[in-house]
A and B are shown apart, each in its own frame.
Chain A
C-alpha cells in the first residue's frame, strides 16, 4: 500500500480532491446559470422578432436568438464537461489515495485528453 506521501512522489505533487470538487461545483453552477440566462433572453427576444415579422430587423433578431442559442448550448456543454471532469479527477485521486494501489498517472480523467 502506498500512502499519500508516496503517491505524491509519483507525480511530485499532492492533489487536493476537495479543491477539485469545489472547482467542479463552481463550473457546474456557472453552466446552469449560462443555460438559464440564455433561456431568459430567448424568451424575451422571440416576441420582439415576431413584432418585426416581415422586416429585415425581425430576421436579424431571429438570427441572433438562433446563433446565440447554439453558442450558449456549446458553452453550457463545455462548462458541464469541465465541471464533471473536475469531480471525476477528485474522485479518482481520492480513490487512489485511499486504495493506494493505482499509479497516479492512470487516474487522470480521460475527458481532457485529445479534446
Chain B
C-alpha cells in the first residue's frame, strides 16, 4: 500500500489545484495560437502569391501544426479537468481522514502520523474493573477507527492508481515527433471519457433517451458548466440525441460525433457525413441562417436533424418531417427545403432570428417497397418526433415557443401518429403537404383544434391524389373537405414542389409557421383568429 496516514494527512492539494489552473490557462492560450494561425497565417499565405514546392510544403506544415495545436489545446483542457477532479476527490478522502481524527480525539484517543493510539494506562486505576471496562471500550473504538482509516487508505490507493492511469492517457502519443494526428484524435474520445469517469460521470448515470425530456433538461441544468463541456465530448452520441438539452450543446456533441465518425468510420455513409460537415461549416457564422446539428447517426441509412436558426431562442419553430427514401445521403435536399422555408418565414417576422426551421430526418424512412404502405415506420417515427418536440419545448427559454410540425408525403403519417397518440403532439400547428393520409379519420383525432391543422395538395400530386385515394392505407387524405382541416392554396406542381421559393405553396406554409394566419390563402376551412 502506497498510502499512509502521514502521506494522506500532509498531501498538498493546493499544488494540484494550481497545476490544474495552469493547464486550463495553457489550453486557452494554445487555442489562441491555433486561432492566430487560422486567421493571420493561412489566408495571407494564400493571397501572397507564393507557389511552388517550397510554398506547398510550408502550407502543408502550417496546416499540420495548426491541427497539432488544436489537439494539444483540447488535451491540455482535459488535463486541467482531470487534475481538478483528482483534487476534489483527494480532498474528500483527506477530509474524511480529518473527520476520523476528530472522532478519535473526542474519544480521548491519541493521534499521530502513525495513526490512532490508546493513551497509556494509569497504574493507579488499572486494577479497578470500571477502569478496565472503560479501557476496553476505548480499545474497541480505536479498533473501529483504525479499520475505517485502513479503508480510507485503500480508497486513496485506488484513486491514486485511477488518477495516474488517466494522466498517463493524456501524454502526447509520440512526443516531439511527427505523430499520427488521426490516431491522437481518435484517442481523444476515449481519453475524455476516462476523465469524465474520474470526475464522477459514467454513461450509465446519464438520462435515458426514452425518458422525460423535461427531466433531461433539469438534469443538464444541474451539471456544472465546466462539466457540461467535458460530458459533451465524452458522450457525444448519447448527449447529442438527448431530447431536452439545449440546441447549442446538442450541436457541439453531434459535431464531435460526426467528426469522430469521419475519423473512425469507413462505412457507406462516410461521403454523406463529409458533405454534411461541409454544409455545416459553410453556414457557420451566418446568422440568422446558422445551422445547428441536433441529431446525427451514421448507422444504417443514416439520420440527421439540422436546424436553420436556433430553436431555443426562436419565437417560431418548424419541424419538417420528410417522407420515403430520405436518407443521410440526400440530407442536402431536406436542408435546402428548410432553408427556403426559413428564408420565407423570416421575412414575415420583425427581427432576424425569430424563426428556426428544422430538417428532421430523425426516423428510418421507408424504402420504395412494402414498408411505405405499412404503419410501423410512422409509429416509431411518431414516438421519436413526439419526444423531440417535447425536448424543444423543454429547452426553450423562458417558455415554449410556437412550434409547427410539417409532414411531407409519408412524413405526414409520422406527424399523424405523433399527434393522435397519447396526449398529442405539443405543437401549435400541424401542416401537411402531399399527404397520403395521417392515420386519422379526421382532424379532430389529432388532439389539436382542427383550425390549426393545415393541408396542401397540388392538383397533379399523385401521392395525395389518386394514389393515396386508391390505396387508402393511410386513411383519408387531409386536404379533402371531410377531413375537417384547413386546405391552403398551392401554385406548384408535382409531389416535391411545395417549397419552391417565391411560390404561394411555400408562402402559405411560412405564414402558418409564424402564426400569420390571416395571410394564409385558403381553399377551404377556417383560419384561427
A residues bordering B, Cβ < 8 Å?
8, 11-16, 19-20, 22-23, 26-27, 29-30, 33-34, 37-38, 40-41, 43-45, 47-48, 50-52, 54-57, 59-61, 63-64, 67-68, 70-75, 78-79, 82, 85-86, 89, 93, 105, 108-113, 115
Contacts and interface: CB of A to CB of B under 8 A. Distances in A.
Contacts of A11: 51-52
A13 B25 contact: no
B2 A78 contact: no
Given A41-B23, A57-B167, 20 more contacts: A16-B49, A19-B45, A22-B44, A30-B37, A33-B33, A38-B26, A40-B22, A41-B26, A48-B19, A51-B13, A51-B15, A60-B163, A60-B164, A63-B171, A68-B175, A71-B72, A74-B175, A79-B65, A93-B50, A109-B54
B350 interface: no
B485 interface: no
B49 A13 contact: yes
B22 A44 contact: yes
A108 B53 contact: yes
Given A23-B44, A82-B58, A112 B53 contact: yes
7 contacts: A23-B41, A41-B23, A41-B76, A50-B15, A57-B86, A59-B164, A74-B175
B172 A57 contact: no
A112 B36 contact: no
A19 B47 contact: yes
B164 A44 contact: no
B30 A37 contact: yes
Interface in B1-33: 2-3, 7, 11-13, 15-16, 18-19, 21-23, 25-26, 29-30, 32-33
Contacts of B13: 51
Given A48-B83, A60-B167, A64-B167, A55 B160 contact: yes
A26 B86 CA distance: 37
Say whether chain A's binding surface is mostly helix, strand, loop, or mixed: helix
B121 interface: no
A48 B16 contact: yes
Contacts of A113: 53-54, 57
A56 B52 contact: no
Contacts, number: 174
A16 B44 CA distance: 10
B2 to A, nearest CB: 6
Nearest to A59: B164
A73 B174 CA distance: 13
A19 B51 contact: no
A14 to B, nearest CB: 5
Given A15-B49, A51-B15, A64-B170, A75 B68 contact: yes
A31 to B, nearest CB: 9
B524 interface: no
Contacts of B83: 48
Contacts of A105: 52
Contacts of B16: 48, 51-52
B126 interface: no
A26 B161 contact: no
B167 A20 contact: no
B54 A112 contact: yes
A44 B14 CA distance: 11
Contacts of B69: 34, 75
B33 A30 contact: yes
